[in-house]
Every structure is written in C-alpha cells, then in structure tokens.
Chain A
Amino acid sequence: MSRASMICAGIDAGSRAIKVVLWDPARMLVLAAGAVDQGVAQESLALELLDRLLARGGIRRNDIGAVVATGYGRKLIQLADRAVTEITCQAWGVRQRSPGVRTIIDIGGQDSKVLRLAADGSIDDFVMNDRCAAGSGRFLEVLADRLAVALPALGQLAQASRKPALISSMCVVFAETEIVGLLASGIAPADIVAGVQTSVARRIAAMVGQHPPAPIMLTGGVAMIPGMNSALAAALGAEVAVAPDPQFTGALGAAVLASHRLDGRNTPAL
C-alpha cells in the first residue's frame, strides 16, 4: 500500500471507554469506529478493539500509516506514534466534521472541558473541571445506578418530567445523598433525572462563562443522553448542537492528527 493510500487510526483511551476511529485521509472518510469499556489492561483492550475494526473492514495492520493516541490513558498506548491531549484532539475532531464551531463542550466520564475556538478552528483557550465529578458523566452514572436505570435511558426518563427536582449540592457524593432523600420523599425518578441534568448543565454553564461564541457543540459520551443538550441550552441561554457521533470526536481528531503526521504536516501538537 502506498503511503498516500494508507489509513490512519485514532485511539481515545478515555476514563470510562476506549474509542478507536479508522480514518481514510485521502477520501476524508471514517472507515470504522468502535468503543469498549475501559479496564486495567488499557493497551490490550485498545489493540483488541483496533484488530476487530480492522478485521471488520478487511484492513491489515500494515495498512495503518500512523496512529495517534489521546485521552486519559494515551501514554499507555505503545502502538501510537504520538500521544496528544484530548483537548487538542477534540478540537481537531470537531473541526473535521463541523467546521465553524466556536465553542465545544465536552462532557466525558470523569471530566468536562470547554474549548473556545478561533474562526480557523484553532484553540483560543480552554477550561477543565478540577478534581470534582459534579459536572461530568460520573454524576449521571451515579444517578443511573441509584435509580437502577441504564445510562442511555436516563434521557428518555427525563423527558417524562413535569417538575424537575431541585438538586442543591454541587458535589456528586452529597448529591447522591440528596437523591436518596428525594426518592424517600416520593419524588418521581423522572423529575430527579431532569433535576440532575439541570444541575450538571448549570455546573458546565459556570465553566463556559458568559456570552460563549456560537455555534456551540456538545461532544463526549454524555452528549448521547437525550435532553442533555437541551438542559445545557437552557442553562446557557444559547443553542447547543450535539456533535455527529459525539463519543468519537476525540478519536477522530486523533486520527486526523495521525494523518497530518503521515503527511509530514507541521502541526504544532505533533
């Protein structure tokens, strides 16, 4: 396979899941994407997933020209030619699929980030939550566990809410206590879920600050929960679109950066 026709891989070793994207830079096309739950043996999990995707597409490992790893466990992916932070990769992933976006809200399993992009898609600035899970997917996981509901079903449940519960705590641990109390008081689970979504959204809105440049796009696993973007839009007073395949934006960005590496492009993060 010639260098020009080689494919590139992006591996996002996130805190809750590992995501892999195979990218054909010549055709600007995602060939395959997949995710597995995160575990202790991060690299072998990533490699198994990569091999599965390759097999599904009839692609050989040798056809991969470059690999970039990102996410929490990026340094553990020995196969990768380069490790780049998830902030930079999110920006490149969104830039690839949705050029023109000026604010990215990425809500992952363990942390949340807000990226402000310049008109050309480069990052102007970013903020991340700090040593607290209150504005992250972990909050919703705790809720799903407590309500014995599958995580993806939370959004549907919230849509049945008539009066979202008021969650006063900004801490997951204390909020869980509040949730127990609300359940004991007979508050409907739907109202509790809607209340928690609002709480997460308000937390994120505080990170975003006032007057975020539009368009605003939501990425990360939490974006797949229906209603999260609406909760954010209400908290921000601005429209928030969900990214296409929001869970894979970071891995896509990593794959795009891998293609830059293959081309020898002088991209700063590489």
Chain B
Amino acid sequence: MNDLPRRITMREWDDRYADLRARGLREADYGGPLRRHVDDGDDRRLLCLQLDNSPAALRLWNFLLTEEDRLGQAESQGKKLVGTMKDLGTVPVMAYALPNLVAFYPDGAWWLPCLMEDRTNLLAIADSLGIDESFCPVRAMLGAFVTRAHFPIPGMLTCSVGATCDDFSAIAQRLSGMGHDVLWWEMPHRRPPEPGEPSVALPGGFVAPASQVEFVRRELQRVGEALAAYAGRPLTDDMLAVGICRANCFRRELGQLRQLVFAAPAAPLPALEMLIAEMLAVHFCSDQDEALEVVRSLRAEAADRVAKGVGVLSPRAVRVYWVNPVADLRAMNLLEDLGGRVCGSEYLFCHAIEPIPEDLEPLEALARAALADPMVGSPADRAQRIAREIAVIGAEALVISRIPGASHCAWEGSIIGAVVRQRCGIPVLEIEVPPITDSIEPSLRTRLEALLETAQENRG
C-alpha cells in the first residue's frame, strides 16, 4: 500500500483502513472504518469527499463523527451536558473547568444537512417553525432539537446574544419559545475606545474600552454561577485558571499545526481536515483531552510529511486565504481539485484559536477573549486583521465564502474584499456556499478556477 500523502475517497479508505489494520494500526475506542458512518449514520456526503489518507485524519474524522455517541456515554456516566450556543469558545472553557460537565455545540448541527445530503429534514422543520431560508443554515439546529435524533437534549443551554449574530438570536429565541430554557448572556458590539477612555488590549490585536470588558466579565460571572449551580459544585478562580490553561494547551497545539501546514512549501494536510481541526477549538467535540490528542496526531503527521518534503498538493498550488466556514464541505475539496490550497483561514472564530491570557484574573481573561470575537466588532476591524495576516502569510488570492441567509455576510464580504484589494493587491472572490452545492457546482467551479488562473497570471 502506498503511504504517500494524498486525498482519497471513502471507497479508497475501505482498502486503506484494512491495510492499516493489517499493519497494526492502533485506534482510540471510537475508531473503526469510516464507511460505518455512511452505512449506520447515513452521512452520505462523506462518499463525495476527498479525505486525507493518514491515520491522523482517520482519527480526526472518527472523532468528529462519533460525538453523539460520546455525549450519550457521558450522560450514562452521570455527567451533565451543557449546550453552549453561539459563543464560539468561551463558555466551553468554563464548563470544562467543572469535572462533571460536558459542553457541546448544538450549532454544529448546521453541517448535518450537508453530511446527510438533506435527508435529515432539519431545514424543513426549521421552515415549518418560521425560520426559513432567509436565515443562516445554522437553523438546522432547531430541527435537531425537534427530532432529538442527533444529540441528547442538554440539561442546560447557554447562548450569547447581542452583537454576536442576529440570525442565531432569532433561532435561539424560537428554541426558547418551544420550551427549552436558555441562559442568555449578552455580548456588546465592540467599539473603539473614545479619546481618553480607559482601554484594554484584546487577543488578536483588537482593542476595546475597559468598560466593555468589565461588562462581559460580569456576564460571564453570571454564566459561571449558573454552571456551578447546574454542576452542584463551586467554580473557583483556581478551577477556571486550570481550565484556561487546558484550553490554551489545545489552542497552542492548533496554532502550531496551522503554522506548520500553512507555511509548508507543499500543503502537508488538506484544507478540509484543517477546517475540521480548527472547529475543534470551539467546543473540543465534547472531549477536551481527546481533542488535544487528535490535533497532536495531525501535527505529528504534518511534521513528518514536511520533514520528508511531501504533501497532498502540488508545491505550485495557488496560496489562498479563506474567510468563513462553508456549509457544504465539498467546496474545500473543489478549491484543491482546481489547483489551489488554503494557506490561511479566518472561519469566524479566530478568537477561539488565540491563547487566552493566563496572567490575568480568569474571568477578566475570558472576557477579553470573548470580546476578540471577529463577529462582535466592525467588519472593518475584521478586514484589517485578515489583511494583516494575508500580508504575513503571502497569500496570492482571497476567497470570501458567504453563508446563505447569514445576515452579517450580506455586507461584510464587500468590506473585507475592498480592504484586502487595497492593502494586499491580490484578487478577491466572493462566493456563496449553500448546504448542498450540487446544482451550483459548475458556477462555483468557474469562479474558483478563474480566481486561481488570475493569481497564477499575477505570478508573472
């Protein structure tokens, strides 16, 4: 069996898996052939995807696709589940500081219509509840709460509202109206400090007024008290400090993985696996320790490939910076099929990748991290951050992937595009990626292909 890195189909993974097993592959308890997720779980989209052929990628996919089992096991072991909605990386850190809580991210259901090729009926259920396609596809979460088929209903739900995302607020309010108690906590719109106003530096190079940080700190304190009451034990500063430290272990590991993969002459891992790995930063896929091990495996694989000078894509691949996650995972494959590679990304939760300050009072540190959310500030702030990163990375083109129905995407893309064009002078493409791209694949292909042709021509 050829061990050279490459992207393979699920059918090719059947043989690959058998071979790896024959050669003594050792797996975690959630391991097994990827095919079972199609046969048992009906995740049919996997059959259309090109997946990395490494054992580390196998572990990543198996970890991602067994989250439901893991949540069920946690419950049966007496642990309590917390659904942490729309905060992208802050409340899970607090929840995991309490040993008997398991946090998960119900918003992750937004990929179910894609993975199950719309057989879930989740979007139709959301439609019937008045949350139609004029909302972000994360509305699939509403359907998942109704069917109770994709995750256990948690005993506690938190949701950040305010400046985070008005689509999500509407969806979560509908959920609340259906009888699910939600602990709301508010995130203000991050504004620049006024002249002379005390200000605070945030992770990611942002700045906010100290009063806003204090406001968020108080909100998080309220959330912490609720988590402690739910867990039936106190949540002390020391526990939070340990929780932050553990989260940072993951974030640093992920940061090193991104640095390694994005800077390598030939991409050692595909964009799809990198997207999934980055998503783990939001909620650890319901197991913080294992999430760290999964990312460590990926980094070891990437490091090995870089050392050997091999990759999954040509070293001539066009270096593309990608903004926003895609509702249909095939889009990431498509870019690579056409001769591109992702060399940098901002999937709307870059604040979940930045280490949380460890030299501050824990709630203050968490408040600063939460306020660094790219969605709660101005699009211009976000654009400047992206432009800075593009300049450092040396990307040759930018893809801004709009999420259909997501209200922030309607105007943010043009601002980011304008700033990047002006500051970096690279071609920019805005695309819209719905949960199922099949019918628009030709036009998506043309746009991406044209972007890559343009970037190649600009190489001179």
A interface list, Cβ under 8 A from B: 72, 84-88, 111, 122-128, 130-131, 268-269
Contact = CB atoms under 8 A, between A and B. Distances in A.
A88 B452 CA distance: 10
Nearest to A124: B427
B348 interface: no
Nearest to B428: A125
Interface in B437-460: 440, 442-443, 446-447, 449-451, 453-454, 456-459
A256 B443 CA distance: 23
Contact of A126 (B432, B440, B443, B454): B454
Interface in B383-406: 402
A84 B452 CA distance: 11
B443 A111 contact: yes
B457 A122 contact: yes
Nearest to A269: B453
Given A123-B454, A268-B453, A85 B446 contact: yes
24 contacts: A72-B442, A85-B446, A85-B453, A86-B450, A87-B446, A88-B453, A122-B457, A123-B427, A123-B453, A123-B458, A124-B427, A125-B421, A125-B427, A125-B428, A126-B450, A127-B430, A128-B446, A128-B447, A128-B450, A130-B430, A130-B431, A131-B443, A269-B453, A269-B456
Q: Which 10 A-B pairs have the closest CB atoms?
A: A268-B456, A87-B450, A85-B450, A269-B453, A123-B454, A125-B427, A88-B453, A268-B457, A85-B449, A122-B457
B249 to A, nearest CB: 41
A167 to B, nearest CB: 22
Contacts of A127: 430
B429 to A, nearest CB: 8
Contacts of B449: 85
A269 B429 CA distance: 17
Contacts of A87: 446, 450, 453-454
Nearest to A85: B450
Nearest to A129: B443
Contacts of A84: 453
Interface of B: 402, 421, 427-432, 440, 442-443, 446-447, 449-451, 453-454, 456-459
A131 B456 contact: no
A23 B243 CA distance: 69
Contacts of B428: 125
Contacts of B459: 268
A125 B453 CA distance: 11
Contact of B457 (A86, A123, A130): A123
Nearest to B446: A85
A262 B456 CA distance: 20
Nearest to A127: B430
Contacts of B402: 130
Nearest to B402: A130
A86 B446 contact: yes
Contacts of A122: 457-458
A88 B458 CA distance: 12
A2 to B, nearest CB: 30
A4 B454 CA distance: 28
A235 to B, nearest CB: 18
Contacts of B453: 84-85, 87-88, 123, 268-269
A87 B451 CA distance: 9
A125 B458 CA distance: 10
Nearest to A121: B457
Nearest to B458: A122
Contacts of B421: 125
B457 A269 contact: yes
Contact of A131 (B429, B440, B451, B454): B440
A130 B432 contact: yes
Contacts of A88: 450, 453-454, 457
B218 to A, nearest CB: 42
Nearest to B426: A125
A131 B432 contact: yes
Contacts of A126: 427, 429, 450-451, 454
Residue in A85, A88, A111, A130 with the greatest tally of chain B CB atoms within 10 Å:
A85
A123 B458 CA distance: 8
A268 B318 CA distance: 11
Nearest to B434: A131
A124 B402 CA distance: 22
Contacts of B451: 126
A139 B335 CA distance: 31
A123 B451 CA distance: 10
